[in-house]
């Protein structure tokens, strides 16, 4: 499945993701600038913060309270802020876009 990342400098990266993997794993495998995933997906660092834009007709589940608490500690929070380690890719998210905030670099 195709996942689009837009890095802090505005460059678009189209990456092939695997159903069932986290968007963070997809991004770190593709070396997307600004998505570090320092904690390896344990939701303990927020170094994978991005703005998530699901494709038309799709939606993401609401963030858990733990994810929301981690996001609250990020810089430049927006209503679409998510930790990519908590977004599991599936066919319904084909074409999802993640924008990496400038504060992530």
- Name the pairing type of β-strands 2-6 and 97-99: parallel
- Domain with 54, as residue range(s), is 2-104
Q: Could you read off the pLDDT of 31-48 as tens digits, one per residue?
A: 999 999 999 999 999 999
- The CA-to-CA distance between both ends of the chain, in Å, stands at 26
Q: How many domains does the chain have?
A: 1
Structure-token pair, residue 73: 């500690």
Output the CA–CA distances (angstroms, integers) from residue 7 to 10, 28, 42, 62, in the order listed. Answer: 5, 12, 23, 24
Q: How confident is the model at residue 78 (pLDDT cuts 50, 70, 90)?
A: very high
Percent of the chain past pLDDT 90, that is, above it, reads: 96
Task: Give the CATH number for residue 67.
Answer: 3.10.20.30
| pTM for the model | 0.95
Question: Is the pLDDT score of 3 beyond 90?
Answer: yes
């Amino acid at each position: 499945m195709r996942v689009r990342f837009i890095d802090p400098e505005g460059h678009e990266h189209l990456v092939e993701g695997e159903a069932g993997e986290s968007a963070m794993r997809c991004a770190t495998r593709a070396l997307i600038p600004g998505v570090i995933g320092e904690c390896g997906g344990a939701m303990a660092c927020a170094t994978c913060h991005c703005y998530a834009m699901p494709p038309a007709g799709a939606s993401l589940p609401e963030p858990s309270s733990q994810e929301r608490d981690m996001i609250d500690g990020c810089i430049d929070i927006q209503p679409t802020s998510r930790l990519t380690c908590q977004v599991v890719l599936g066919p319904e998210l084909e074409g999802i876009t993640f924008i990496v905030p400038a504060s992530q670099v």
